[in-house]
Amino acid sequence: MATRDAEAGTEAGPTVPATLPADEAPVEHDEPAPRAADGARSGAHWLVFIGLALGVVVVDQLTKAWLVANLSPGETMTVIGDWVRLVFSQNSGALFGLFRDNAALFGLASLVVVGLIVAYHATAGRSLYLSIALGFLLGGALGNLTDRLARGFVVDFVDIGIGDLRWYTFNVADAAISTAIVMLIGAALFPALSRLGERRSDG
């Protein structure tokens, strides 16, 4: 009887262990879901950055085209009494008409600034707040750069003030740049602002 049992065990084949050795156990790989989500947020921030910049350029150029078509250089149009006026000003200088008669120099400087803005966003694009600020900055720089390349000067037209006390004449691109500067100063003074909408990287 014992011989038959032994023979039966031999015919049934070797016994398979219930568990595999540790070095033979299947290895589970973590899915890169967090990285995929992180990349999606990064792409969304680039869309905000580029989309906002293009929006500023379009509005800036449309308003300038309307002004050039309806006013002559130096001509003024009243909007709200003496407080808000439109005046066709040809600015060959920098922001708000500063440092005039240097259009070529500021055109070259604008190209450098555009490159620096894009490069900075590539390294600091984890924050939606910074993407918005840099989008305004890029749009403003491109708007005025377009003027310098196409006309040789920047069209400024918004004139605000009371009587003889006037602010510098500006345009949509200038307003976008000023908004960006205020946002960046705010982020420097209150670092928590730059973390609004921030992409969190895991690991």
> How many CB atoms sit inside 10 A of residue 176's CB?
27
Q: 128-151 and 33-70 helices cross at what angle (nearest 10)?
A: 30
Is residue 159 annotated as part of the catalytic site, yes or no? no
Indicate which residue of 60, 147, 159, 174 is catalytic. 174
Is residue 164 annotated as part of the catalytic site, yes or no? no
CA dihedral 120, 124, 130, 136 (to 10 degrees): 20
For every residue of 130-179, DSSP letters joined together read HHHHHHHHHHHHHHHHHHHHHHSSEEEEEEEEETTEEPPPB-HHHHHHHH
Q: Decide if 113 contacts 141 (C-beta within 8 A).
A: yes
Q: Which amino acid is located at 93 in the chain?
A: G
Indicate which residue of 60, 147, 156, 159 is catalytic. 156
Q: Of the candidates 126, 130, 132, which has an alpha carbon nearest to the alpha carbon of residue 202?
A: 126
Three-class secondary structure of residue 84 per DSSP? strand
Cα angle vertex 65, ends 71, 157, to 5°?
55
Which residues are designated catalytic?
Answer: 156, 174
